[in-house]
């Protein structure tokens, strides 16, 4: 029975309601079958100009501390960029020609900044007071990798040596190892602090136990890579799992079980790997790339773990990516690019329930481009 209108119009109205209900039921059913929404950024959240940034695959001139301050070396000058209030502070400028920062790493509590230089210097800086705390000797050539493990600062150099410095002691030299046959360009302590991974330009990857480093006895030596091993990252949710990335002649991401001493995954990426960062909110790993044999160069690639299937790729970097690091909250990553820019990407974090999500950082910027100095 229809209150108003003809029987013809009522039939059309009922049919329309039935069709609408059927359509809504189909949409609901499809949504329930779909995986949680996963966002892949289409563009950078922000771009900072970084004049003087070195185009050198082996250096590590960027570190993002727990204090939300990004430290970056631009030629002879080291800058601190506060991601909360966007303040930029020049920590120091090196007067000596060509003695530039080649390795920068915040300590775990982000109070001290370790800086390695071209001319073998290694310094500790207090970022709050902008004062040089200490100079550590021991290397004879440039220092391109540093890593903290509590009060132990580990440094790797072109002189082929790895040195553990106990910064509490007057005589800081805790141990010195010389097993690599070329520059030590990658160093990373495990999350538990019991193992150290070291990668060299001679294509070798060593795993060391913290308790046995003074004896220079390594736990494992992996020789699967066919190029320099710079990119290293320990899995945050699976103990003893390490990811490593090879250079131009290798182009592979390898996942290692360092307990058993075996490679559990090997993925050909078709491009030089300059950085690896695990996603702490999803079981994923992000890789940054440089030179390639095809069109896959200068991109960021997101991989699902443990299947290592590609989730997506993004980035419109013209030249290669030199370094990659992650924000303290594990949401944003920044890529240091050879075109003298720093590019911020909102790629990590929980699945989004809507069509867009603005991070805390994104709301701070009114312009796409800023100058870091």
Q: Which CATH superfamily is domain 55-223 in?
A: YVTN repeat-like/Quinoprotein amine dehydrogenase (2.130.10.10)
**Residue 93: in which H helix or E strand, if any?**
strand 88-93
- The answer, yes or no, to whether residue 292 has pLDDT greater than 50, is yes
Dist CA 285 CA 44 (whole Å): 18
What percent of the chain clears pLDDT 70, i.e. is strictly above it?
A: 83
CA 78 to chain centre: 19
Instruction: Write out the two tokens for 281.
Output: 């909110």
Q: What does pTM read for this prediction?
A: 0.86
Q: Decide if 245 contacts 227 (C-beta within 8 A).
A: no
Cβ neighbours of 86 (radius 10 Å) = 13
Enumerate the CATH 2.130.10.10 domain ranges in the chain, comma separated: 55-223, 233-349
- pLDDT tens per residue, range 328-345: 999 999 999 999 999 999
- The answer, yes or no, to whether residue 103 has pLDDT greater than 50, is yes
**Residue 12: in which H helix or E strand, if any?**
helix 7-33
Question: Dihedral (C-alpha) 124, 129, 130, 135: value to the nearest 10 degrees?
Answer: -20
- The answer, yes or no, to whether residue 2 has pLDDT greater than 70, is no
Dist CA 373 CA 88 (whole Å): 7
- pLDDT tens per residue, range 321-330: 999 999 999 9
Strand order in the sheet with 131-135: 101-106, 112-117, 122-126, 131-135
What percent of the chain clears pLDDT 90, i.e. is strictly above it?
A: 78
- The answer, yes or no, to whether residue 205 has pLDDT greater than 60, is yes
Which CATH code fits 233-349?
2.130.10.10
Dist CA 245 CA 197 (whole Å): 12
- The answer, yes or no, to whether residue 361 has pLDDT greater than 50, is no
Beta bridge partners of 285: 278, 303
Which pLDDT score is estimated for 317?
86
Q: CA angle at residue 339 from 93 to 285, to 5 degrees?
A: 100
Cα distance from N-terminal residue to C-terminal residue, the chain: 76
**Which residues are within 8 A (CB) of 326 and not within 5 positions of it... i.e. 6 or more apart?**
64, 277, 332, 333, 348
Q: In terms of Cα–Cα distance, which of 187, 289, 311 is closest to 242?
A: 187
3-state helix, strand, coil in the chain (%, to 5): 10, 45, 45
- pLDDT tens per residue, range 8-50: 444 444 454 455 456 555 544 454 444 455 678 889 999 999 9
List, as one string, the DSSP characters of 188-255: EE-TTSSEEEEEETTS-EEEEEGGGGGGT--SEEE---SS-EEEEEE-SSSTTEEEEEE-TTT-EEEE
CA distances 208 to 205, 220, 315, Å, are 10, 7, 35
**Residue 18: in which H helix or E strand, if any?**
helix 7-33
- The answer, yes or no, to whether residue 351 has pLDDT greater than 70, is no
Dist CA 104 CA 114 (whole Å): 6
Instruction: Write out the two tokens for 162.
Output: 């790895």
Which pLDDT score is estimated for 15?
52
Which pLDDT score is estimated for 56?
97
Which pLDDT score is estimated for 20?
47
Q: Decide if 318 contacts 325 (C-beta within 8 A).
A: no
Which pLDDT score is estimated for 13?
44
How confident is the prediction for the chain on average, in pLDDT? 88
- pLDDT tens per residue, range 118-170: 999 999 999 999 999 999 999 999 999 999 999 999 999 999 999 999 999 99
Dist CA 372 CA 61 (whole Å): 14
Q: In terms of Cα–Cα distance, which of 29, 74, 21, 25 is closest to 49?
A: 74
Burial (CB count <10 Å: 0-12, 13-18, 19+), residue 192: exposed
CA 198 to chain centre: 16
Pairing between strand 220-222 and 229-234? unpaired
């Amino acid at each position: 029975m229809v209150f108003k209108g003809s029987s013809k119009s009522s039939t059309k109205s009922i049919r329309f309601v039935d069709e609408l209900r059927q359509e809504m039921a189909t949409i609901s059913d499809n949504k329930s079958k779909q995986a949680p929404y996963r966002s892949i950024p289409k563009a950078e959240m922000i771009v900072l100009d970084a004049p003087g940034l070195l185009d050198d695959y082996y250096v590590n001139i960027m570190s993002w501390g727990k204090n939300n301050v990004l430290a970056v070396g631009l030629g002879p000058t080291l800058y601190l960029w506060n991601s909360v209030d966007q303040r930029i502070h020049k920590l120091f400028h090196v007067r000596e020609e060509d003695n530039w920062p080649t390795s920068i790493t915040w300590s775990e509590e982000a109070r001290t900044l370790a800086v390695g230089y071209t001319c073998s210097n290694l310094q500790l800086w207090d970022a709050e007071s902008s004062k040089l705390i200490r100079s550590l000797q021991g290397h004879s050539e440039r220092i391109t990798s540093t890593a903290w493990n509590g009060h132990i600062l580990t440094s790797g150099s072109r002189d082929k040596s790895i040195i553990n410095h106990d910064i509490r002691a007057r005589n800081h030299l805790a141990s010195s190892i010389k097993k690599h046959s070329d520059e030590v360009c990658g160093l990373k302590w495990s999350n538990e602090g019991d193992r150290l991974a070291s990668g060299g330009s001679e294509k070798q990857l060593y795993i060391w136990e913290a308790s046995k480093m003074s004896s220079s006895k390594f736990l494992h030596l992996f020789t699967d890579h066919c190029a320099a091993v710079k990119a290293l990252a320990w899995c945050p949710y699976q103990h003893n799992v390490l990811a490593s990335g090879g250079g131009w002649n290798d182009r592979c991401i390898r996942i290692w079980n360092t307990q058993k001493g075996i490679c559990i995954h090997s993925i050909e990426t078709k491009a030089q790997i300059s950085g690896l960062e695990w996603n702490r909110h999803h079981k994923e790993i992000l890789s940054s790339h440089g030179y390639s044999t095809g069109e896959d160069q200068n991109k960021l690639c997101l991989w699902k773990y443990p299947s290592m299937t590609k989730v997506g790729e993004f980035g419109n970097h013209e030249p290669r990516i030199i370094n990659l690091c992650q924000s303290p909250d594990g949401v944003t990553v920044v890529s240091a690019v050879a075109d003298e820019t720093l590019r911020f990407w909102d790629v990590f974090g929980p699945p989004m329930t809507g069509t867009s999500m603005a991070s805390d950082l994104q709301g701070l910027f009114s312009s796409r481009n800023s100058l870091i100095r």
